[in-house]
Structure 1
Amino acid sequence: MLNLLGQVFVYVAPFLLVLTVIVTIHELGHFLVARAFGVKVDRFSIGFGRSLVSHTDKHGIEWRLGWLPLGGYVKFSGDLDSSAVPDQAGLETLRQDIVAEHGPGAERDYFYFKPIWQRALIVAAGPAANFILAITIFTLLFSALGVSVVPARVAEVFPDSAAARAGFQVDDRVIKVGGREITDFRDVGQSVALSAGSPLDFVVLRGGREVNLTATPVRTVRDDPISGPVRVGYLGLGWNPQPGEVAYIRYPPHRALVQAVRQTGDVLGTTLTYLGRIATGKESGDLLSGPLGIAKAAGGVTKQAAAATSDLGLQIANVSLMLIQFAAIVSIGIGFLNLLPIPVLDGGHLLFYGYEAVARRPVPANVQEVGYRVGLALLVGLMLFATWNDLQKLSLFKFLGGLAS
């Protein structure tokens, strides 16, 4: 029983903490931009279900904490269905109801009667807030703590590997991969991991001159200490940086901001690359994770950070630092997910607003209904697929099979 409680604390508590912070920032993005445009808001809720704690401020906004901490929402006044955009007939009915209750002109304070550009900015503000959160975290980390930079010098070339067949040699220093300049050996690993079965062009420094090499990473299963077993590209290079090769750089605030934006862009670029490879059949999608995978990763980060030292104070500091970095990565993922052009997500709303801007009228109700059903099916399917991946990585089926045997 105590062990179970310990596992819950290690895996579930960090996950809920990170998720709550990210969701709060996301919803604050919607809320703050909406209030800046004078939109009336009924409720700001973190968590779903019955209210645990609530407070209504002088503006009539209910601030609520729900008992199920797996999301949140902002409810605009007059918003009967947060997943839909009223069509022309629905807007007229809503307008009449508002005017009848509050008088002529009152509808101008309601979300659906704001100009399209304002509604689009309000919707986009949620994902934007996620990206801003990540950039802010990275900026603070790069300026306060700095970042380690390790040249990509090859310490070992494993026999019969893709690297050996391509002609890599010990002490080669990788300076470009796929035309992209490399400053850290971890950048090489990231490029290789997402290129299984696809030729990669390398430029290495060897004896003071540049040498061009082409290697095709092979797919292999790697047991990642944080995310569990994953299938990634493998080249067959060993890295063993010497103490004198490791440089620690603390950036001044303005340069830290530039690096933070670049880091956020790199994460988004990696995500798009992986999705593109899934679409072209080059990846199976087994790296996609759902809530279980994120919870496992949060627990892995927590355990790894705590194991780095036996001092309780340093353990707390390490765990806090690692979870902050983890929150930045997850925040980028949630921001990106919400921008997908799928009805029920922010990107779907923006898609509808794009139609409205061109056609000068909202999307017809019957089209919206079909769109939301298809979008919900796609989203549920994606979540089920990601959850299946998570269960396989957790080896749950092997565990259940062992119980049954």
Structure 2
Amino acid sequence: MFDFVFWLLSYVVPFLAVLTVIVFVHEMGHYLVARWNGVAIHTFSIGFGRELIGWNDKHGTRWRISAVPLGGYVRFVGDMNAASLPDPAAAEKVDPALAPHLFVNKNVWQRIAVVAAGPIANVLLTFLILYALLLGYGRYTVPPVIGEVLPGSVAEAAGLEPGDTIQSVDGYAVRGFEDFQRYVATAPERQVTLSLARDGATETLILVPEAVETEDRFGNTQRIGRIGVSRDIAEADVTLYRPGPVEAVGMTFEEIRFIVERTAAFLGDFFVGRGDVEQLGGPVKVAKVSGEVATLGVIALINLTALLSLNIGIFNLLPIPMLDGGHLVYYLLEAVRGRPLSMKVQEIGFRFGFALVLALMVFTLFNDTIFAYFGIFR
């Protein structure tokens, strides 16, 4: 019993707290833009399945918390289901006075705005969290100067030397040695371009970090890039850098751009045979990571919320029916063609998207439980 309570408090509660915030913000993005465009909203739900708690507001929207807390949805009046598949006969079923407020009767650009609002809300949440943490806490940094180049390493072959000051990696500004390590670590077996200062001159080097497996502080195996450089860090080298409000905006945008680019590169690795399926994770792995990060404190958990929010926003923009990106593809095609795709084509797409998303969920669940916990096929 004690073990179960410990598991619940350590993993499930932090995971559900993080997921609920992200889902609420995502769906609130859809909800607010829909309301601004005069769309009648049937349901705002956190979770799926049977309703646990619910109430109606003055606009007739049913707000509910449902039994399966692994997502959520906003359902508009006239939708056949929570996936926002429109009901072609909706206009005949509702009061004629309500017809102009049906989502399906809004112009295509209004529908695009409503659909895009969810992922955009996730990106805004990420920006606000990272920006607030940067302004509130600043960041500890170490000068980005190479201390040692290991013999026979990628760095030595590329021409790096002790005393080189790294200025940028792939166009991302390097403000500290920790930046340099992170940019290299997230590019295993992918070409990176370094800009460095040496003897008063600027030089450019191109290299490919080798892929190595390491364990984090929680014992999780990670595949990272390594080039074979290090530096001794004395206490006097560590400084606290606090950017101003304007500079922090640029630094936050650059961080978001970095996360998006590295996430896309990570997914792209699977199409060229470099991907490691053990690095993919679903709800179980996210719950495990949430529990582990929660042990580092509230700030670490808030930072994880920002990262997951951005990744969920990106995932929802994939052009897969059932996801926001799939809806956007339909509406963009409608904007180009001047008329919507047939309901038959849309329904086929939604069925395909549902099957694809379900297969991905099953795979990641299998990957979480089999690879991560039992070590099969290691």
| TM-score, structure 2 as length reference | 0.91
* Alignment of 1:256 onto 2:248: yes
Structure 2 stretches lacking a partner, 5+ long = none
- Aligned positions of 1:232-271 closer than 5 A: 232-271=224-263
What residue is the counterpart of 2:92 in the other structure?
A: 96
What residue is the counterpart of 2:292 in the other structure?
A: 300
Q: 2:168 aligns with which of 163, 173, 176?
A: 176
* Alignment of 1:325 onto 2:303: yes
**2:299, 2:4 → 1: CA distance?**
25
CA distances 1:114-154 after superposition (whole Å, capped 9, x unpaired): 11111111111111110111111112111111122322222
What residue is the counterpart of 1:78 in the other structure?
A: 78
What residue is the counterpart of 1:143 in the other structure?
A: 135
CA distances 1:240-264 after superposition (whole Å, capped 9, x unpaired): 3333333322233343333222222
Q: Specify whether residues 71 and 261 from structure 1 end up closer, same or farther in structure 2 by C-alpha distance, changes over 3 A only.
A: same
**1:348, 1:158 → 2: CA distance?**
48
**2:376, 2:93 → 1: CA distance?**
58
**1:51, 1:176 → 2: CA distance?**
51
Provide the aligned length of Structure 1 versus Structure 2: 378
Q: 1:335 aligns with which of 313, 322, 326?
A: 313
Q: Specify whether residues 145 and 279 from structure 1 end up closer, same or farther in structure 2 by C-alpha distance, changes over 3 A only.
A: same
Q: Specify whether residues 194 and 136 from structure 1 end up closer, same or farther in structure 2 by C-alpha distance, changes over 3 A only.
A: closer
Structure 1 stretches lacking a partner, 5+ long = 306-318
Q: Secondary structure at the match of 2:147?
A: strand
What residue is the counterpart of 1:48 in the other structure?
A: 48
**1:374, 1:133 → 2: CA distance?**
30
User: Contact 1:25/1:133 (CA < 8 Å) preserved in 2?
Assistant: yes
- Aligned positions of 1:98-117 closer than 5 A: 98=94, 102-103=95-96, 105-117=97-109
**1:389, 1:231 → 2: CA distance?**
16
User: Contact 1:152/1:239 (CA < 8 Å) preserved in 2?
Assistant: no
User: Contact 1:229/1:393 (CA < 8 Å) preserved in 2?
Assistant: no
What residue is the counterpart of 1:124 in the other structure?
A: 116
- Deviation, 1:393, is 5.3
User: Among the aligned pairs, what percent are the same residue?
Assistant: 37
What residue is the counterpart of 2:359 in the other structure?
A: 381
Q: Secondary structure at the match of 2:39?
A: coil
Structure 2 counterpart of 1:370, which letter? I
Q: Specify whether residues 389 and 170 from structure 1 end up closer, same or farther in structure 2 by C-alpha distance, changes over 3 A only.
A: farther
- Deviation, 1:85, is 4.0
* Alignment of 1:390 onto 2:376: no
**1:227, 1:138 → 2: CA distance?**
27
What residue is the counterpart of 1:310 in the other structure?
A: none
What residue is the counterpart of 1:312 in the other structure?
A: none
- Deviation, 1:160, is 3.4
**1:50, 1:376 → 2: CA distance?**
20
What residue is the counterpart of 1:34 in the other structure?
A: 34
Q: Secondary structure at the match of 1:279?
A: coil
User: Contact 1:46/1:71 (CA < 8 Å) preserved in 2?
Assistant: yes
Structure 1 counterpart of 2:29, which letter? G
**2:285, 2:345 → 1: CA distance?**
35
**2:27, 2:227 → 1: CA distance?**
42
After superposing the two structures, state which structure 1 stretch, 343-352 or 37-46, moved more: 37-46
Structure 2 counterpart of 1:364, which letter? S
